[in-house]
């Protein structure tokens, strides 16, 4: 194997290279140009993210195309293409929302932008990497950046508490993953994902080592996804972080962790149906749906409610992965990411600094800010799965695939998913009752005076478009069609 990378290798990770180099460049800019609100750093970060987004299309459709590079260490596929688009889209949206929030909280933190780029770079390498060591290093790059971003409001005790909890539980997660990699290496003699998983079908100590290693590694991944019972950090971290950072964690970070699980399950050396590896994530998914929705029912704080509902939504996607459903799970991730980003963007706008946004504080919002009330209701209705919004179609496509299977686990997951979707309607519909049907005026309605924000408005409009029409323009079958175009473009 040639250990010296060639031009194909370098171009295969061009988006990640742009983000990494751009992050270093932004650190230098933040030191040299301490202008008002670090405008140069902000605009430069937006430009770098847009260039990286364009490079994802270039490397997938033009040069070098999908395939394996760096001696099998990197693999670009249709799945990584869509995942990279999610990461960059969520990063661009977060960068557009954050300036107003930093100003309201009186936080001077120009390092936010390079950390955002580094975290996104880690996500890309985490799901493109085909070696457990590379995956782990990339995951730690993402995690360390998120630890800092959660705690960047250093004068806020809730923010510091949130980052400490996330750091401690993230460290446990890393320990499980490292131990799992060690066992996988012990059973196969390789850290390559495909080779390390091969002993799963072999009897004897090699198979036992691989099974123990995969269980430990999946435990670490479950921490990052926030599946029950590894979810303990989620409500406090989501509530304590600044709202745009919470939105970035709920979309890009969660998509990266679920994407890693999806890629792992495409590499298993045996059919998935009716195996332990289908039941293990299936049980976690079912428990996550039930627990996330039940706890969300009694939340009054909208941010904390979205935190618990994100646990349930992770359960829906993991249920699909445990059933061997790939395109539909990917489509669910795309829709959920845009819906959540839009919801958190509206919440960030309504908070206007340190205000807590609850069901009571947004009562009669439609009278004072009708467009804002319509937007937040559309996003919440989509999360609930109300037709004709994107969330309904995402659930429909996923549950339809589960219904086509005759295995016991998939039947249980289908019943659990439909039942929990009906249960979730209660707390999602409360926002409509509060904003449109309440006779009282909430605190946000009475005192909201935040000026117009171009960044927040642009993000909400794009997310609104994806929720309202995205399901029509982009469905799981079209994901496959674009994959075929990528294949043809490489010849």
Do 420 and 395 contact (CB within 8 A), yes or no? no
Residue 421: the pLDDT is 86
Q: What is the chain's mean pLDDT, rounded? A: 84
Specify the higher pLDDT residue, 362 or 287.
287
Q: Out of 367-376, 388-397, 469-478, which region has the weakest mean confidence (pLDDT)?
A: 469-478
Q: What is the pTM of this model?
A: 0.90
What is the spatial distance between Cα 99 and Cα 108, in angstroms, rounded to a whole number?
A: 10
Task: Return d(Cα 201, Cα 207) in angstroms, integer.
Answer: 7
The whole-number pLDDT of residue 471 equals 63
pLDDT average, residue stretch 155-162: 74
Q: Is the pLDDT of residue 364 over 60?
A: yes
The pLDDT of residue 490 is 46
> 78-104 vs 254-266: helix axis angle to the nearest 10?
170
156 against 63, higher pLDDT: 63
> HSE of 403 in the Cβ direction (CA atoms, 13 Å)?
9
Is residue 17 scored above 90 in pLDDT? yes
Residue that the structure tokens 């509530």 belong to: 239
pLDDT at 390: 83
Report whether the peptide linkage leading into residue 229 is cis, meaning its omega lies within 30 degrees of zero.
yes
Rounded to whole angstroms, the Cα distance separating 310 from 478 reads: 26
The pLDDT of residue 354? 61
Under the banding of pLDDT at 50, 70 and 90, the label for residue 491 is very low
Lowest mean pLDDT among 1-10, 303-312, 454-463, 475-484: 475-484
Which tens digit of pLDDT belongs to each residue from 96-151?
A: 888 888 777 777 777 888 999 999 999 999 999 888 999 999 999 999 999 888 88
Residue 443 CA to residue 98 CA, distance in Å, equals 23
pLDDT tens, residue by residue, 191-248: 888 888 888 888 777 888 888 999 999 999 998 888 888 877 888 888 888 888 888 9
- Whether the per-residue pLDDT at 478 is higher than 70: the answer is no
Mean pLDDT of 278-306: 88
pLDDT exceeds 60 at position 489:
no
Taking only Cα atoms into account, the Rg of the chain, rounded to an integer number of angstroms, comes to: 22
**Which of the residue ranges 31-45, 155-169, 298-312, 444-458 has the most confident prediction, judged by mean pLDDT?**
298-312
Find the range with the poorest average confidence among 28-32, 66-70, 241-245, 438-442.
438-442
């Amino acid at each position: 194997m040639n250990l010296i990378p060639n031009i194909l290798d370098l171009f295969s990770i061009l988006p990640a290279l742009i983000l990494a180099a751009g992050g270093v460049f932004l650190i230098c800019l933040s030191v040299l140009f301490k202008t008002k609100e670090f405008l140069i750093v902000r605009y430069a970060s937006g430009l770098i993210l847009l260039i990286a987004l364009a490079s994802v299309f270039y490397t997938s459709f033009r040069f070098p195309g999908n395939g394996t590079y760096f001696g099998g260490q990197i693999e670009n596929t249709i799945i990584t293409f869509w995942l990279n688009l999610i990461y960059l889209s969520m990063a661009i949206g977060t960068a557009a929302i954050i300036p107003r929030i930093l100003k309201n909280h009186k936080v001077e933190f120009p390092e936010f932008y390079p950390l955002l780029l580094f975290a996104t770079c880690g996500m890309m390498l985490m799901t493109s990497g085909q070696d457990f060591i590379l995956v782990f290093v990339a995951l730690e790059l993402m995690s360390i950046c998120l630890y800092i971003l959660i705690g960047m409001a250093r004068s806020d005790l809730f923010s510091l508490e949130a980052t400490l909890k996330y750091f401690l539980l993230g460290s446990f997660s890393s320990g499980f993953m490292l131990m799992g990699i060690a066992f996988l290496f012990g059973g196969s003699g390789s850290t390559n994902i495909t080779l390390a998983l091969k002993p799963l079908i072999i009897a004897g100590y090699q198979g036992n080592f691989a099974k123990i290693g995969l269980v430990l590694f999946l435990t670490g991944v479950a921490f990052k996804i926030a599946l029950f019972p590894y979810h303990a950090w989620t409500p406090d971290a989501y509530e304590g972080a600044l709202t745009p950072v919470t939105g970035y964690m709920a979309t890009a970070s969660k998509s990266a962790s679920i994407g890693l699980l999806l890629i792992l399950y495409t590499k298993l050396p045996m059919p998935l149906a009716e195996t332990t590896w289908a039941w293990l994530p299936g049980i976690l998914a079912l428990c996550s749906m039930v627990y996330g929705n039940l706890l969300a029912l009694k939340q009054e704080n909208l941010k904390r409610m979205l935190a618990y509902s994100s646990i349930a939504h992770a359960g829906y996607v993991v249920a699909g992965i445990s059933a061997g459903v790939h395109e539909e799970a990917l489509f669910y991730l795309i829709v959920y990411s845009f819906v959540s980003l839009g919801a958190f963007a509206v919440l960030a706008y309504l908070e206007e600094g340190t205000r807590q946004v609850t069901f009571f504080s947004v009562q009669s919002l439609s009278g004072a800010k009708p467009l804002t009330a319509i937007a937040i209701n559309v996003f919440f209705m989509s999360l609930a799965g109300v037709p004709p919004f994107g969330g309904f179609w995402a659930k429909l496509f996923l549950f339809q695939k589960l219904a086509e299977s005759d295995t016991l686990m998939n039947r249980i997951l289908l019943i659990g998913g439909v039942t929990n979707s009906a249960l979730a309607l209660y707390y999602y519909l409360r926002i409509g009752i509060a904003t449109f049907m309440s006779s009282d005026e909430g605190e946000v309605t009475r005192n909201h005076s935040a000026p117009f924000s171009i960044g927040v408005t642009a993000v909400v409009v794009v997310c609104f478009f994806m929720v309202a029409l995205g399901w029509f323009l982009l469905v799981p079958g079209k994901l496959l069609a674009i994959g075929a175009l990528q294949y043809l473009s490489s010849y």
